[in-house]
Structure 1
Amino acid sequence: MNRQRIQGFCWGLVGLLAIAATVFSLRSSWAIACPLWIVAWLASALAFLFSSGRQTFAFTSFVLASVTASLSYPELFGSWFGIDLSTLIVPLIQVIMFGMGTTLCVADFARVLKMPRPVMIGVCLQYLIMPLSGFLLASVLNVEAEIAAGVILIGSCPGGVASNLMCYIAKADVALSVTMTAVSTILSPVLTPLMMTVLASQYVEIDFVGMMLGICNMIIVPIAAGLIANRLLDTKIARWNRPIPLVMALLVSLAGALFAVWLGASRLGPLHSGLLVGFSMIALVVLTKLLVNVILGSQDDWMNRVLPIVSMAGICYIIAIITARSSEDLLQVGVVLVLVAVIQNVAGYLFGYGGARILGLDEHSSRTVAFEVGMQNGGMASGLAINSLGSAKAAIAPAIFGPLMNVSGSVLASWWARRLGSDGEHIDQKEMST
C-alpha cells in the first residue's frame, strides 16, 4: 500500500470517527464520544505523517489526542504504582534538551562573532516583545494570578528547536536561527528569572536564584551533554570510530552518572539530576554507537531518527500530565487562554519581523527573527512552572501555547515559502547591492 492510499484511508477514517464522535457528543454520551475523538486525532496524525510537506501538523494532532485523553481520563495520568507521574516531567525535559544539544556544535555559538548584529537584535527583541506582550495580555484580560504568571513565563523563555525547522521551510536563515536559539538559551538562566522577577512577582513569588539554578539543571547541563554527544557521534573524527576510545568514553560517562547520584544523595549539588541525565544519555549514545556503528558496521543515522520521536512523545506526555492536573481550570479559562496564546504568538511574529526590518535586517534575517521571537521553548516553561513556581495552573499557558505555535509557525512558513521563496535570491541580491 503506497503513501497516498494510506493517507486516503486515514482521512476517511478521521471523517467517519469525527462524525460519530460529534453525534455522541451532542447526545452527551461522553463514554463513547471521548474514545472516538482520541482515535480520530491519532488517525489524523498518521494522515499528516504520510502527507508530503505537512508532517509538522502531526505533532499537533498527537498533542490534541493527549489532551483529549487526559481530560477524559485524568485518573490515568495521576500516579502509576504509587509513583506520581509529575516527577518525570523534569527528567523528560532534560532528555529533550539533550536531544537539542546533539543538533548543536561549538560553531553554532562561535557564529555569533561573525553575525553579532542580527543575533543581538533577535535576542533583544525576543526577551522584550514576548514577556511584555504576556504581561499586557494578562493585565488587560485580568486572568487569575497563577495563570497570568504562566503567560508571562512562556514569553520569558528562549526559542525552541521548532523555530529552526520553520526557518528551513520558510527559506529563512537557518544558520542564524540555530545561533539565536543557542544564544538565547545560554542567556536564559539570567534573563528568564529577571523578566519573571520584573513582570510576574506581583502574581506569584519568584525565587531568582532558585529559578536560575533550575534552568541550569533542566536546560543548560543537558544541552552541554548533548554537545559532547554530538562530538562523540561525529564520524569524521577517527578516534570516535574505534572501540577503545568509545569504551573509555562509556566508562567515564558511567562514572559521571555515579558521581551525580552521589551528589543527589549527599544534597551537595543542585545540578545533580541534570548531570545524571546528561551522563546517562552520553553513556547510552556511546553504547549505541559502539554496537551499531563499530561492531555491526552500520552507518545508519539512528540518532536523528530516534530523538525527534522521543522528544515528541515526551512533550505529549508532559502536556497530558499538566492537563490532567488542571482539567477543571482549563475547562473554565481554556477559551481565554487560547485567545491569549494566539495574540501573543502573532504579536511575536509581527513585532519580531517588523522590528528586525526597522533595525535594518534583510528579508531572510527578518523572517528568522520573527520565528525566533514568536516560537518559545514550551517544554522549558512547563518544567519551570511545575518545578520552580510549584504551580500546575501556571503550566496551562505553556501547554496551550506549544501546539498553537507549531500550527501557526507551519502556516506562516508555508506561506512565506510560496510567496517569497521563488524570488528569494533576487531579494538577497537587491538588498546586498543597497
Structure 2
Amino acid sequence: AHRRPAPGPRLSGLPGTPASALSRRDWAPIALLLAACLLAWWLPQALVPLKVAIVPALGLIMFGMGLTLTGAQLTAALRRPRWLLLGVALQFAVMPLLAYAIAGYLGLSSTLAAGLILVGACPGGTASNVMVYLARGDVALSVAMTAVSTLAAVLLTPWLTLWLAGTRVDVPAVAMLLDILRIVLLPVLAGMLLRALLRGPATALARVMPGLSMLLIALIVAIILALNRGHLAATGTVIASAVVAHNALGFALGYVAAWFGGAAPAQRRAIAIEVGMQNSGLATALAIKYLPALAALPAALFSVWQNVAGLALAAVWRRR
C-alpha cells in the first residue's frame, strides 16, 4: 500500500509548499527577474532616471528581513554555534577570494573585477532563506547566518573590498561602512523592533514583504541593466561566465567545507546555499554610489543567476 507523504515544514513569513515538488509560485521570482531584464533591454530610457530609487528600495528590503527575524529562530541556531560560525566564516572567506581569483583568471577590467569582488564581500541574501527551505535544509541556521553575516558586513564588506580591490579602483571604505549602517543595519533593527513591539501589524507586513521584496529586487536589477546596456552587449559573455562560476563554486565549496566539518545533510545544504547566494542588492547600491557605474553590472547579473541556480539546486535536493 502507498501512503500519502506528510506535508513539508513551513517557514514563518514564507509561502508553504508541499515537500514533494516546487510549485509555480516558487519559480515566479525567476519569471519576474527575466521580465525585468527584457524591460531593461527594450526600454532603458524609462528606467535610467529611477537610479535614485535603488538605495531606498534596498532599505525597504532590509526592513522586511528584520520583520521575519525572531529571537526563537536565532536562539535555535546559537545553540549550535559551531555551524553558525563555520558558515559565516566561509561566507566572508570563500566568496571574496573566489571573486578575486576568477577576475584575475578571466582578465576582467579593473572596474568589473572590483564589482565582482564587492559582490563576494557582501553578506548572504534574503532569498537564501527561501532556497534553504525549499531544499529541505536547516532553515533556522540559514536565517541566523543571514542575520549574523548582515551585521558582520558593516565592518567586513568595506575592509574586504578595500583589501582585494583597493589596488584596482579607489574604495572609500569608511564612507561605505557608514552607508551599510544606514541602509542595512538600521532598517533590519527597525523591522525587528516593530515585530517585538507590535506583533500583529508586523506579522501582517511580513506576509506581504517577500513578494514586495522580489518586486524591488527585480526593479533594482532592471535599473542596473538599463544603465549598463551598452557595456552588457560588449562584455556580456565574459562577465556572465564570471558570475556563473562564482555562484557555482560558492555552492560547491560551501557544501564540501561543511561536509569535511562534520555537518549533517540539512546543515550542509543551508551552509552551501548561504555561502553561494549574496546580497546583490547591497552590492548594487554600494557600487552605484562609490564605484564606476559598470561595477554594478556583476551584482545585477548575479542577482538573476543566483535565483535560477538556487531554485534548480533546491529542486534537486528536495527530491533526495
- TM-score, normalised relative to structure 2: 0.89
In structure 1, what is the equivalent of residue 282 of structure 2? 380
More displaced 10-residue stretch of structure 1: 105-114 or 317-326? 105-114
More displaced 10-residue stretch of structure 1: 305-314 or 170-179? 305-314
Q: Which of residues 147, 166, 175 in structure 1 aligns to 2:131?
A: 166
TM-superposition CA deviations, 1:326-384 (whole Å, max 9, x none): 11111111111111111111101110000011122122111110011001111111111
The amino acid across from 2:163 in the alignment is V
Q: Which of residues 394, 413, 417 in structure 1 aligns to 2:318?
A: 417
In structure 2, what is the equivalent of residue 397 of structure 1? 298
2:256 aligned with 1:354 = yes
In structure 2, what is the equivalent of residue 317 of structure 1? 219
Q: How many residue pairs are counted as aligned between the two chains?
A: 300
Q: RCO higher in 1 or 2 (8 Å CA, sep ≥ 6)?
A: 2
Distance, in Å, in 1 between the alignment partners of 2:186 and 2:265 is: 34
Distance, in Å, in 2 between the alignment partners of 1:73 and 1:106 is: 44
Query: CA offset at residue 109 of structure 1?
Result: 4.0
2:67 aligned with 1:75 = no
Distance, in Å, in 1 between the alignment partners of 2:136 and 2:198 is: 28
The amino acid across from 2:45 in the alignment is E
2:194 aligned with 1:219 = no
* SS of match in other structure, 2:24: coil
| Paired-residue identity, % | 40
1:74-153 map, 5 Å:
74-79=44-49, 85-111=50-76, 113-153=78-118
Query: CA offset at residue 121 of structure 1?
Result: 0.5
Distance, in Å, in 1 between the alignment partners of 2:149 and 2:72 is: 15
Distance, in Å, in 2 between the alignment partners of 1:113 and 1:173 is: 13
Structure 1 vs Structure 2 CA RMSD: 1.6
Asked if structure 2 preserves the Cα contact closer than 8 Å seen for 1:167 and 1:173, the reply is: yes
Distance, in Å, in 1 between the alignment partners of 2:162 and 2:135 is: 35
In structure 2, what is the equivalent of residue 210 of structure 1? 175
Task: List alignment gaps of at least 5 residues for structure 2.
Answer: 1-20
Distance, in Å, in 2 between the alignment partners of 1:73 and 1:113 is: 47
Asked if structure 2 preserves the Cα contact closer than 8 Å seen for 1:169 and 1:417, the reply is: yes
Distance, in Å, in 2 between the alignment partners of 1:202 and 1:62 is: 37
1:320-359 map, 5 Å:
320-359=222-261
Q: Which of residues 247, 266, 282 in structure 2 aligns to 1:364?
A: 266
Distance, in Å, in 2 between the alignment partners of 1:54 and 1:352 is: 28
Distance, in Å, in 1 between the alignment partners of 2:226 and 2:95 is: 27
Query: CA offset at residue 302 of structure 1?
Result: 3.5
Query: CA offset at residue 402 of structure 1?
Result: 0.9
Distance, in Å, in 1 between the alignment partners of 2:73 and 2:166 is: 34
* SS of match in other structure, 2:319: helix
The amino acid across from 1:406 in the alignment is N
* SS of match in other structure, 1:160: coil
Distance, in Å, in 2 between the alignment partners of 1:113 and 1:368 is: 15
Asked if structure 1 preserves the Cα contact closer than 8 Å seen for 2:22 and 2:315, the reply is: no
Distance, in Å, in 2 between the alignment partners of 1:138 and 1:309 is: 33
Distance, in Å, in 2 between the alignment partners of 1:161 and 1:78 is: 25
Bigger radius of gyration:
1
Distance, in Å, in 2 between the alignment partners of 1:233 and 1:353 is: 38
Query: CA offset at residue 201 of structure 1?
Result: 0.7
TM-superposition CA deviations, 1:173-216 (whole Å, max 9, x none): 11111111111111001111111111111221111211111111
In structure 2, what is the equivalent of residue 425 of structure 1? none
**Structure 1 residue runs of 4+, over 3 Å off?**
106-113
Query: CA offset at residue 305 of structure 1?
Result: 3.4
TM-superposition CA deviations, 1:89-148 (whole Å, max 9, x none): 101100010001100023444445411110111011111111111111111111111111
Query: CA offset at residue 161 of structure 1?
Result: 1.6
Asked if structure 1 preserves the Cα contact closer than 8 Å seen for 2:22 and 2:134, the reply is: no
Query: CA offset at residue 52 of structure 1?
Result: 5.8
Distance, in Å, in 2 between the alignment partners of 1:403 and 1:369 is: 20
Query: CA offset at residue 306 of structure 1?
Result: 2.0
* SS of match in other structure, 2:171: coil
Query: CA offset at residue 233 of structure 1?
Result: 3.6
2:90 aligned with 1:189 = no
Distance, in Å, in 2 between the alignment partners of 1:52 and 1:167 is: 13
